[in-house]
């Protein structure tokens, strides 16, 4: 295809032509909306580093889920912020823990929305690590046992899907096993398979009050410099029984989304994380960028890279642009 016979601009002349040849379309049905549940009643605490996002008590979580569902968003992912933390993250797998209560409130109010739960210990441990600490190290095998407890307790409370975000080895197999043993053969696992050790989680840790009190997460989350390793992680999770493979964060890892999409024959999710949201909000507030346009361009780029599902704090704001 050579100029002057071929002129790419021919097909860009009108809005109708541009629409006709658009290769990537996003819609509210692509989104999963993350929500932060706190104890109490009538609570709606703004998260300072994430303008427009809140810590919500469970009845407000249910209202927000209702709004999302009305806009065409098929699912939410729940994070819990307990009142009490301890070394074993007990509140993560308690029958009436904060997430368990939030699940029930949402399922009562919006039975058809897909309620996904983040399965991890960091919001529930007093040291803030995603696993059990033994002699200053994060112990893998005792952690996956507790993660499976958490997943089963979420399923018992009515969750439709569980999403382990801890990055311990073997946790998908352990969770699949325990869900099946307890009769939850139909609860899918969305695995945070390629989850990188990223500074883009900063605002989330403020929102969830889950920053590690000592050290960092480098012994379990992936080195941002690695790509082949993401394929190994994804393959392991496929073999262990994952139903959806996630890459996280999204923007600095579009190449990883693309590679995983190419190599793995399962649906791929990408997490457009807190720092990615905050940067756009901050730059828009300063008048440096058009926030809405950058939001839509960003979400489109994540889908174009290969994500079938996008977890994003922009879900409601973006969905409103489609006028459901």
195 tagged catalytic:
yes
Give whichever of 69 and 192 is closer to ligand PBG, judged by the CB atom. 192
Kindly state the tokens that stand for 313.
């704090």
User: Least CB distance from residue 271 to ligand PBG, whole Å?
Assistant: 6
107 tagged catalytic:
no
Stretch that binds ligand PBG, among 12-20, 25-33, 81-89, 201-209 (CB under 6 A): 201-209
CA trace torsion 107, 108, 111, 117 (10° rounding) = -10
Give whichever of 156 and 205 is closer to ligand PBG, judged by the CB atom. 205
298 contact choice in Zn ion, ligand PBG, none (CB below 5 to 8 Å, kind-dependent): none
**Do 98 and 37 contact (CB within 8 A), yes or no?**
yes
Between CA 198 and CA 177 the distance in angstroms is: 30
Kindly state the tokens that stand for 181.
């043993």
Interaction of residue 222 with ligand PBG, rule CB under 6 A? no
Name the catalytic one among 101, 195, 281, 303.
Answer: 195
Q: State the helix-helix crossing angle for 291-305 and 274-285, rounded to 10 degrees.
A: 150
Interaction of residue 245 with Zn ion, rule CB under 5 A? no
Interaction of residue 130 with Zn ion, rule CB under 5 A? yes
Which of 31, 33, 196, 204 is the binder for ligand PBG (CB under 6 A)? 204
Between CA 313 and CA 278 the distance in angstroms is: 10
Give whichever of 42 and 125 is closer to ligand PBG, judged by the CB atom. 125
Kindly state the tokens that stand for 251.
């923007």
What one-character-per-residue DSSP string does 218-272 give?
Answer: TTTSBPTT-SHHHHHHHHHHHHHT-SEEEEESSGGGHHHHHHHHHH--S-EEEEE
Give whichever of 30 and 118 is closer to Zn ion, judged by the CB atom. 118
Between CA 255 and CA 320 the distance in angstroms is: 29
Which of 33, 93, 124, 201 is the binder for ligand PBG (CB under 6 A)? 201
CA 166 to each of CA 118, 128, 224: distance values in angstroms, whole numbers, following the listed order = 9, 12, 16
Measured in degrees and rounded to the nearest 5, phi and psi for residue 237 equal -65, -35
Interaction of residue 143 with ligand PBG, rule CB under 6 A? no
Stretch that binds ligand PBG, among 11-19, 115-123, 182-190, 299-307 (CB under 6 A): 115-123
Interaction of residue 197 with ligand PBG, rule CB under 6 A? no
Strand, coil or helix: 157:
helix
Interaction of residue 122 with Zn ion, rule CB under 5 A? yes
Q: Is 201 exposed, middle or buried (0-12, 13-18, 19+ CB in 10 A)?
A: buried
User: Least CB distance from residue 277 to ligand PBG, whole Å?
Assistant: 7
Stretch that binds Zn ion, among 42-50, 68-76, 98-106, 122-130 (CB under 5 A): 122-130
Which of 47, 120, 146, 280 is the binder for Zn ion (CB under 5 A)? 120
| Cα 168–Cα 169–Cα 175 angle in degrees, nearest 5 | 80
Name the catalytic one among 248, 261, 281, 303.
Answer: 248
CA 130 to each of CA 192, 224, 275: distance values in angstroms, whole numbers, following the listed order = 13, 18, 19
Which of 130, 194, 242, 299 is the binder for ligand PBG (CB under 6 A)? 130
201 contact choice in ligand PBG, Zn ion, none (CB below 5 to 8 Å, kind-dependent): ligand PBG
Which residues contact ligand PBG by CB under 6 A? 118, 120, 122, 130, 165, 201, 204-205, 273-274
Name the residues that contact Zn ion, by CB under 5 A: 120, 122, 130
Residue positions annotated with a catalytic role: 195, 248
């Amino acid at each position: 295809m050579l100029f002057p016979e071929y002129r790419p601009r021919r097909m860009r002349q009108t809005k109708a032509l541009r629409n006709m040849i658009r290769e990537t379309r996003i819609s509210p049905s692509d989104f999963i909306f993350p929500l932060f549940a706190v104890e109490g009643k009538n609570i709606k605490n703004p998260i300072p580093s994430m303008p427009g996002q809140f810590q919500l008590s469970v009845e407000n979580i249910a209202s927000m889920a209702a709004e999302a569902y009305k806009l065409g968003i098929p699912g939410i992912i729940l994070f819990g912020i307990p009142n009490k933390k301890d070394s074993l993250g007990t509140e993560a797998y308690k029958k009436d823990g904060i997430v368990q209560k939030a699940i029930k409130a949402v399922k009562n109010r919006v039975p058809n929305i897909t309620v996904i739960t983040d399965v991890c210990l960091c919001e529930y441990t007093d040291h803030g690590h995603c696993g059990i600490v033994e002699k200053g190290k994060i112990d893998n095998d005792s952690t996956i046992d507790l993660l499976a407890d958490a997943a089963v307790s979420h399923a018992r409370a009515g969750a439709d899907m569980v999403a382990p975000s801890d990055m311990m080895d073997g946790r998908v197999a352990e969770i699949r096993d325990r869900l099946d043993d307890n009769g939850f053969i139909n609860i899918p696992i969305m695995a945070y398979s390629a989850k990188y050790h990223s500074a883009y989680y900063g605002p989330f840790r403020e929102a969830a009050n889950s920053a590690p009190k000592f050290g960092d997460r480098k012994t379990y989350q992936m080195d941002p410099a690695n790509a082949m390793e993401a394929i190994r992680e994804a393959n392991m999770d496929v073999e262990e029984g994952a139903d959806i493979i996630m890459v996280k964060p999204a923007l600095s890892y579009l190449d990883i989304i693309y590679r995983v999409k190419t190599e793995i024959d399962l649906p791929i999710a990408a997490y457009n994380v807190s720092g990615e949201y905050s940067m756009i909000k901050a730059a828009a507030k300063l008048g440096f960028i058009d926030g809405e346009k950058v939001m839509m361009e960003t979400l489109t780029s994540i889908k174009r890279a290969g994500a079938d599902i996008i977890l994003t704090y922009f879900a409601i704001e973006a969905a409103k642009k489609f006028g459901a």
